[in-house]
Amino acid sequence: MSTDVKTATPNTLESTERHAPDGIKLPIYMDNHATTPMDPRVLEEMLPYFMEKFGNAASRNHPFGWVAEEAVELSRERIAKLIGATAKEIIFTSGATESDNLAIKGVAEMYREKGNHIITAVTEHKAVLDTCKHLEKIGFRVTYLPVQKDGLVDLDDLKRAIDDKTILVTMMAANNEIGVLQPLAEIGKICRERGVIFHSDAVQAIGKVPVDVNKMNVDLASITGHKLYGPKGVGALYVRRKNPRVQLVPIIDGGGHERGMRSGTLNVPGIVGLGKACAIATEEMATESCKLAGLRNRLRDSIMSRLDEVYINGSMEHRLPGNLNISFAYVEGESLLMGINDIAVSSGSACTSATLEPSYVLKALGTGDDLAHSSIRFGIGRFNTQAEVDYVADRVVDTVQRLRELSPLYEMAKEGIDLKTVKWAGEAH
């Protein structure tokens, strides 16, 4: 699933003039919300399914097909186990964007007799927002709930927004930019009480924090392989089968695979990889999230103890363990990325986006455009080390200090000028 903050990569992967300290290999990858490197254990399990076990899982009458089908069913069970579902409730897709489209459009078309109202939040991923916008064009009504300063939706807003025409609430589990965790259990409870189907784009959360579809009353959940150390191009949609049974109109018609909800020959190696990635997460999530939160807090403390006017975007309490999104006042994000070009991270700066608009997620929190331009997203993952975190903190602090010496805004602020009162020549644009 693509993210809306673009990644700055070093100009070449090999060339960095900087001398790497012992135990560190440059460049450092710390952009694990964009994608994660594959776990070698996942690759190992996938490899046989490219060559010797190449069968089509839908081939019912020979062993090639049976072997593939058996692998697919094992994956279904492994994914289901991670989220407290049953294997029959897992539908394979090409990734989270497709899962989001299938869930939202599938519900809209199936339940249009019942109502035409959908509720979501302004900080959702574009795969959800643009799907909702499409539905608005064909007669659906969509409420985009605002978020509070910490990035969380107000549950009273949600309760007020639900009316007798509401058929679906779609709310992400964890935000891809700021890592903020929405209160899924509370949202699920409200939806269940009001008889509204609840979909969650859970790609950033699954495998990182506990997600239990029954405890949280989630009816549909989007999953993708490449955010949890699995392969790209494969995902899944959890579709509740009872209490209540959720039905979807497919968006891809064909041979009737996946109980008619998603036709197309299954990507067996990808599915095997996704299943293995979920099995690893089931085993290791508790210890891993503890380690990641420790590294993340170490990075935060190391940076914030040495720099003034650094602001954390979004709730620190309700947050993915590996996420840190901070704004460095008076320093523009892309220039900061350029200065730390041996480290792969992302910025909410307009200069790094195709639209030349700063991050809509940060704007939704009430972060000013100036601080949105100054934001960096760090995504710490399974393969990052403490030595890397320390190196990243040092490089960030050095570069911010250097760029602030170069910044007219920093100079003005130090002179005691309130930048909000300055009449900027460029404001007319």
Partner 1 sequence: MAYSDKVIDHYNNPRNVGSLDKASADVGTGLVGAPECGDVMKLQIKVNPDTNVIEDAKFKTFGCGSAIASSSLATEWVKGKTVDEALAIKNTEIVKELALPPVKIHCSVLAEDAIRAAIGDWKKKQAAAKPVAAEAK
**Total number of residues that touch partner 1 (CB under 8 A):** 32
Rule CB under 8 A: is residue 332 a binding residue for partner 1? Answer: yes
Q: Give, as ranges, the residues between 123 and 162 that touch partner 1 (CB under 8 A).
A: none
8 is a site residue for partner 1 (CB under 8 A):
yes
Q: Which two tokens stand for residue 364?
A: 């939704």
Q: How many Å apart are CA 405 and CA 398, to the nearest integer?
A: 11
Cβ-Cβ contacts under 8 Å for 119 (sequence gap 6 or more): 142, 143, 145, 158, 161, 162, 166, 168, 169, 170, 171, 196
Residues 301-330 contacting partner 1, CB under 8 A = 330
Residue 309 C-beta: closest distance to partner 1, Å: 13
Nearer to partner 1, 92 or 328 (CB): 328
Residues 113, 164, 405, 418: which binds partner 1 (CB under 8 A)?
405
CA dihedral for 263, 267, 272, 276, sign (positive or negative): negative
Joined together, the tokens standing for residue 44 give 């190992």
Residue pointed to by tokens 């910044």:
407
Q: How far apart, in whole angstroms, are the C-alpha atoms of residue 153 and residue 168?
A: 16
101 belongs to the binding site for partner 1 (CB under 8 A) = no
The answer to whether the CB of 78 falls within 8 A of the CB of 282 is: yes
Does the annotation count 278 as an active-site position? no
- Residue 373 CB, nearest distance to partner 1 (Å)? 4
Residue 343 DSSP SS3: strand
| Residue 400: count of CB within 10 angstroms of its CB | 26
In terms of CB distance, is 12 or 243 closer to partner 1?
12
Helices (H), 27-183: 40-46, 63-83, 96-110, 126-137, 155-161
Q: Report the distance separating Cα 83 and Cα 203, nearest Å.
A: 12
Stretch near partner 1 under the rule CB under 8 A, chosen from 52-60, 225-233, 276-284, 344-352:
344-352
Distances from the Cα of 137 to the Cα of 116, 140, 191, angstroms: 12, 7, 25
By CB under 8 A, name the one of 339, 385, 394, 395 that touches partner 1.
339
Q: Determine the interface stretch with partner 1 among 78-86, 229-237, 314-322, 363-371 (rule: CB under 8 A).
A: 363-371
* CA distances to 35, 55, 311 from 297, in Å: 21, 47, 14
Nearer to partner 1 (CB atom), residue 10 or residue 260: 10
Q: Which of 313, 377, 299 is nearest to 344 (CA)?
A: 377
| Residue 3 engages partner 1 in binding (rule: CB under 8 A) | no
Question: How far is it, in rounded angstroms, from Cα 19 to Cα 176?
Answer: 32
Q: Which stretch in 26-34, 111-119, 213-221, 421-429 sits in contact with partner 1 by CB under 8 A?
A: 421-429
Neighbour count for residue 306 (Cβ, 10 Å) = 15
Min separation Cβ 57 and partner 1, Å: 41
Query: What's 352's DSSP letter?
Result: G
Q: State the minimum distance, in angstroms, from the CB of residue 29 to partner 1.
A: 18
Distance from chain centroid for Cα 369: 22
> Contacting partner 1 (CB under 8 A), which of 35, 335, 346, 359?
335
**Distance in angstroms (rounded) separating the CA atoms of residues 151 and 180:** 6
Can you list the alpha helix ranges (DSSP code H) found in 138-217? 155-161, 184-194
Residue placing its CB nearer to partner 1 in the complex, 3 or 222 = 3
The region that residue 84 occupies, defined by phi over 0 for left and psi between -120 and 50 for alpha, beta otherwise, is left
Site map 369..388 versus partner 1, x via CB under 8 A: xx--x---------------
Choice from 11, 265, 386, 401 touching partner 1 (CB under 8 A): 11
Interacting span for partner 1 (CB under 8 A) from 99-107, 171-179, 207-215, 419-427: 419-427
Assess 360 for contact with partner 1 (CB under 8 A).
no
Residue 164 vs 405, nearer CB to partner 1 = 405
CB of 351 to partner 1, least distance (A): 4
Closer Cβ to partner 1, 46 or 331, answer by number: 331
Find the catalytic residue in 132, 191, 290, 351. 351
Enumerate the active-site residues.
351
Residues contributing to the site for partner 1 (CB under 8 A): 8, 11, 330-332, 334-335, 338-339, 349-352, 356, 358, 368-370, 373, 405-411, 419, 424-427, 429
